[in-house]
């Protein structure tokens, strides 16, 4: 019987996300596919490492990783377990003067940033501009083509994966006698360090976690 992935286990995988109805690629870890789909995104294309069932990917994909085997799979993700349904509350009427302040000429279809929220202009009528702040993939069923390459057992690799998932910049990770040290240049809030460290200890099996700020060569121990 094939070995299945258990909740909390770390796996390395490639994935390509598509809309179910149109088959349009919206995300991938494979550069060739991104180029063919003309995604036009700048990122480091490489396999992703996640802990299955821990919320590191969309809920509908995450739950299907648990119990899956190594190899290629096609997972269907319904709207409710993807980016959710569209909400009328996220359609907002914004006065034209708001756009004038930012030297923006409002036209339908234009993607804009308003008060740190990304939205798309849906209609323009006189001084009334309707902006849609729903996620572009809201109310869409999705399909993920996933290639689960291997299980990850190395503790340092697991810690690095969790840092990447949380988008925490770091220079290096070392583990000595079960104790992990993360070296970086950014000072993180103490409360965040404590919460993150609990997840690291729980998921990777290290005994404790220390953040070392490289510039000061000082340890921040949890």
Q: Structurally, what CATH architecture does the domain formed by 88-132 represent?
A: Beta Barrel (2.40)
Per-residue pLDDT, 215: 63
**Phi, psi torsion values for 164, nearest 5 degrees:** -65, -40
Report the chain's mean pLDDT, rounded to a whole number. Answer: 92
Which numeric CATH code is attached to 154-222?
3.30.70.1770
Question: What confidence score (pLDDT) does residue 16 get?
Answer: 98
DSSP string, 183-219: EESSPPPHHHHHHHHHHHHHHH--SEEEEEETTTTEE
User: Which pLDDT belongs to residue 220?
Assistant: 47
The pTM of the full predicted model, rounded to 2 decimals, is 0.84
Residue located via tokens 């323009």: 124
For the chain, the structural domain boundaries read 1-83+138-153, 88-132, 154-222
In this structure, which topology does domain 1-83+138-153 adopt according to CATH? Chitinase A; domain 3 (3.10.50)
List pLDDT tens digits, range 39-78. 988 888 999 999 999 999 999 999 999 999 999 999 999 9
């Amino acid at each position: 019987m094939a070995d299945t992935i258990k909740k909390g286990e770390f796996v390395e995988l490639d994935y390509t996300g598509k809309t179910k109805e149109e088959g349009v690629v919206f995300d991938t870890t494979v550069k060739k596919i991104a180029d063919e789909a003309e995604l036009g995104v700048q990122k480091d294309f490489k396999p992703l490492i996640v802990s299955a069932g821990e919320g590191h990917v969309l809920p509908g994909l995450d739950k299907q990783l648990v119990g899956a085997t190594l190899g290629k799979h096609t997972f269907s993700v319904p709207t409710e377990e993807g980016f959710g349904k569209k909400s009328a509350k996220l359609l907002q009427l914004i006065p034209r003067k708001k756009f004038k302040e930012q030297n923006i000429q409002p036209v339908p279809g234009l993607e804009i940033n308003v008060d740190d929220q990304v939205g798309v202009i849906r209609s323009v009528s006189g001084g009334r501009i309707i902006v849609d702040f729903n996620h572009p993939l809201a109310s869409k069923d999705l399909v993920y083509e996933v290639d689960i390459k291997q299980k990850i057992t190395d503790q340092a690799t697991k810690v690095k994966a969790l840092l990447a998932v949380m988008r925490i910049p770091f220079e290096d990770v070392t583990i000595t006698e079960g104790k992990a040290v993360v070296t970086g240049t950014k000072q993180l809030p103490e409360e965040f360090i404590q919460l993150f460290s609990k997840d690291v200890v729980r998921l990777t099996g290290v005994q404790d976690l220390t953040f070392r700020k490289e510039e000061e060569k000082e340890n921040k121990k949890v």
